[in-house]
Structure 1
Amino acid sequence: MIEEGHCVVDEQEATAADWYRKAAEAGVVQAQSNFGLMLMKGKGVPKDERAAVDWFVRAAEQGDPDVQNWLGLCYQDGRCGVAPDDAEAARWYTAAAESGDPDAMSWLGTLYKEGRGVPKDDARALEYFMAAANAGCQSALDELRNRGLSP
């Protein structure tokens, strides 16, 4: 199969999309996210952001932290054909953070710091920034430095 990031010749895209769709329908998490990406980009299938998000949700609900973080970004910024929704962004960032995703921890820290989608809570924000920084997240390290702190 052909994965994201690899060179795909145009005539192979439809075949790859078909295989990803079949595997996605069978519940294969990586195939669900890859088929979602193909739908998002219109590679091998007609572009359909809403359907892409549906596939991302299926993968995220099975515990894929990368997709959970991606959905957080989609909802935070109103990308991917969804309306901005900070509470939904926080939900997906929380799921990814619980799986150890440092970027999601940092984004969740930002939401708590700003009170977006969650109650404003500086102590909780700091906890997430510290955890993310300890996992090597540069944006969290920068946030801590701006506060005069280190992990």
Structure 2
Amino acid sequence: MSPSEHDIYEEHVLDHYEDPYHRGLLEQATHSDEGKNPLCGDVIHIDLKLSEDGKIVEAWFDGEGCVISQASASMLVEQMEGKTLEELKEFSADEMLALFGPKLTPNRQKCCLLSWRILQSAVHSPVNDSGDGDPDDDGPQFGGPSLSEES
């Protein structure tokens, strides 16, 4: 049985889409990543602020795309704040789909899992130390600071 469009737009999904949790850029981000779903063009950017002991102090997202991609990103950053890196790494794709709620077709699951995939890679993508939060800044990139953060 295929999920109906009505089920996908349950109240909690629309709440996260219309009034997202922590949407925008995080100026004090320590880690950041962005990705897109080439099939539909959804784009998600995730900024994280990690503490010295590896906890997610703040998580923010920005992007554009369908209701599913944007609402699931909002749900995910809200769910992950306060979690440890270990808890984040253990948070599975199936758990992400369960967090979203409505049953999705395989193509729509890709929309839902985009933010989960970006979050998993963001913890391995430290922002440079120049303070401007732009990882594409001129100058060489090096992993020095991230080693102590991930130990």
Q: TM-score, normalised by structure 2?
A: 0.30
Greater relative contact order (Cα 8 A, min sep 6): structure 1 or 2? Answer: 2
CA radius of gyration, larger in: 1
Query: Normalized per residue, which structure has more strand?
Result: 2
Query: Normalized per residue, which structure has more helix?
Result: 1
Q: TM-score, normalised by structure 1?
A: 0.30
